[in-house]
Chain A
Amino acid sequence: MARFTKEGGHKVPGINTGSMSDIVFMFLFFFMVITTMRESTLLVSIKSPQATQIQKLEKKSLVSYIYVGAPIRAQYGTESRIQLNDHFASIADIQEFVNQEREARDEVDRKMLTTSLKVDETVRMGLVNDIKQELRECGAFKINYSTRKKVSKASL
Chain B
Amino acid sequence: MARQTAEINSGSMSDISFLLLTFFLLTSSIDTDNGILRKLPPPLEKDQTPPEINKRNIFTVMVNKYDQLLVNGRPSDVRTLKADAMEFLANPSNRVDYPEKKPVNIPELGTVSVSKGVISLKNDRGTSYEMYIQVQDQLTAAINELRDQLSKEKFGQAFSKLTDPKKAEAISTAIPVAISEAEPENIGGK
- Which chain A residues have a beta carbon within 8 Å of chain B's beta carbons? 17-18, 20-21, 24-25, 27-28, 31-32, 34-38, 49-57, 60, 63, 114, 116, 119-126, 128-130, 132-133, 135-137, 139-150
Contacts and interface: CB of A to CB of B under 8 A. Distances in A.
B133 A53 contact: no
B35 A57 contact: yes
Given A31-B25, A36-B28, A143-B38, A17 B14 contact: yes
Interface residues of B, number: 46
Q: Secondary structure of the B side of the interface?
A: mixed
Contacts, number: 154
Give the dominant DSSP class at A's interface: mixed
Interface in B71-130: 123-130
Interface in B123-174: 123-130, 132-134, 136-137, 140-141, 144
A116 B31 CA distance: 14
Contact of B141 (A49, A52, A136): A52
A149 B131 CA distance: 15
Contacts of B144: 53
A154 B18 CA distance: 44
Given A31-B24, A141-B40, A142-B39, A125 B128 contact: yes
B18 A129 contact: no
Contact of B28 (A17, A20, A31, A137): A31
Contact of B42 (A36, A141, A148): A141
Contact of A57 (B20, B33, B65, B125): B33
B184 A129 contact: yes
B33 A144 contact: yes
Contacts of B50: none
Contacts of A136: 40-43
Contacts of A20: 14
B190 interface: yes
Contacts of B34: 54-57, 146-149
